Every structure is written in C-alpha cells, then in structure tokens.
Amino acid sequence: MSGLLTSLIWSLNKEDVTWSDYRAGILAGQFALWLVLIPRGLPVMLREFTLRSNAKRAVEDDSASKNVLIYGAGAMGGQLLDFIKVGGSREISPYQIVGFLDEHRSFKGRIFRGFRIFGGSEQLENLSSKHELDGIVVAISKLSDEQREKLVALTKSLDLNLYRWGVDQEFHQI
C-alpha cells in the first residue's frame, strides 16, 4: 500500500508515466517498510528464540532438578514464570518447568512465554512418563473444588506431587 502511494505521488510530477515508474515506487515502498520492521521486529524474535532455547536446554541438561508442569496458562502462570526467571527462591530453584497444562482447548499446542501448552489434564499420563515429572504446580487463583479433587485423584494415581503456588511465592504441596 505504501509503495502504491509512493509511486502515485512520484508520478504526479511526470508527464509520461510507465510501468517501471510504478514498479520502482512499489519497490521503494517495500524497502522503506522493511527498514521500519527489521529494527523493531528483530529484537523481539531474538528474545523469544533465546527464551525458548534456554528452556529446552535447561530441561535437557538438568537431570538433578525436579521436572514440573504448570497447570494454568493464564496471568498467574505468567507471574510464576516471571518469578522463576528473576531467580525465584531457594525452595523453588530445584524445580524445572517443562511446560503448561490448560483446559482451554484453544490453547493446546500454542507457545506461552517460551513453553508449550500441552493441553488439558488428560495429557498428564503421557507427559509424566515422557518427561519424568515430579508433579504439577497449580497456578490458578480460583480453582474450583471439583477441579482440585480431579487433580488430586489424577496425581495420586500417577504417583505425582501436586503443588500450589501461593501468595507467599512458594510451592505448597496439596
């Protein structure tokens, strides 16, 4: 669009306008657009790539840590991730985030802050053996009693720990 506008304005000053004039204007507009997009988009892409590669490397390299999934890919799950990124606490430091679980079907397969959302709690059985999970951390502020009971039963059947991330920014076993 900017290329068309550029070529139109440029051609107003000429008497004999050819296709090459329009093509030159379109190319100039595209070039100008890339000069704006690259400086703004490149740092964002590099940051996301770095976060994702660091998360994968940490999951693969750190066998002494306890692998956990975060249950809830919302605001509280994002806050938990931010807290861990800035250093967390001594109690949280041995835990390694593998990814997220969330019951919203539209979230499944998406990337949230560099981590994959694997789907709902029905994925827990496959993921627990694949990633050698220690447990899951509930990061939902208003978890219903029904959901809590379902998670307790599921984690007990799979011999996993169930943690809740509290206001005091620590993991509490449920």
More confident residue, 83 or 8: 83
Phi, psi of 25 (to 5 degrees): -65, -40
Tokens linked to 73: 């890919």
Predicted confidence band at 12 (pLDDT cuts at 50, 70, 90)?
Answer: low
Model-level pTM? 0.61
Tens of pLDDT, residue by residue over 97-137, are 899 999 988 999 999 988 999 999 898 889 988 988 989 99
Looking at 10, 25, 50, the residue that finishes a domain is 50
Residues 68 and 13 in one domain: no
At 7 the pLDDT is 58
Lowest mean per-residue pLDDT among 46-50, 51-55, 58-62: 58-62
**Domain of residue 39, residue span:** 2-50
N-terminal to C-terminal alpha carbon distance within the chain: 57
Is residue 132 one of the residues assigned to a domain? Answer: yes
Phi, psi of 32 (to 5 degrees): -65, -40
Residues 150 and 106 in one domain: yes
Is residue 38 one of the residues assigned to a domain? Answer: yes
Residues 43 and 95 in one domain: no
Is residue 55 one of the residues assigned to a domain? Answer: no
Mean pLDDT of the chain: 78
Indicate if the pLDDT at residue 1 is higher than 60.
Answer: no
Is residue 95 one of the residues assigned to a domain? Answer: yes
Residues 73 and 132 in one domain: yes
Residues 133 and 158 in one domain: yes
At 86 the pLDDT is 72
Q: What's the structural domain count of the chain?
A: 2
Residues 111 and 147 in one domain: yes
At 116 the pLDDT is 92
Is residue 23 one of the residues assigned to a domain? Answer: yes
Amino acid at 72: G
59-79: average pLDDT: 78
Question: What proportion of the chain, given as a percentage, has pLDDT over 70?
Answer: 71
Residues 35 and 85 in one domain: no
Tokens linked to 41: 């988009």
CB 80 within 8 A of CB 89: no
At 51 the pLDDT is 67
Q: What CATH number corresponds to the domain at position 168?
A: 3.40.50.720
Is residue 145 one of the residues assigned to a domain? Answer: yes
Indicate if the pLDDT at residue 3 is higher than 60.
Answer: no
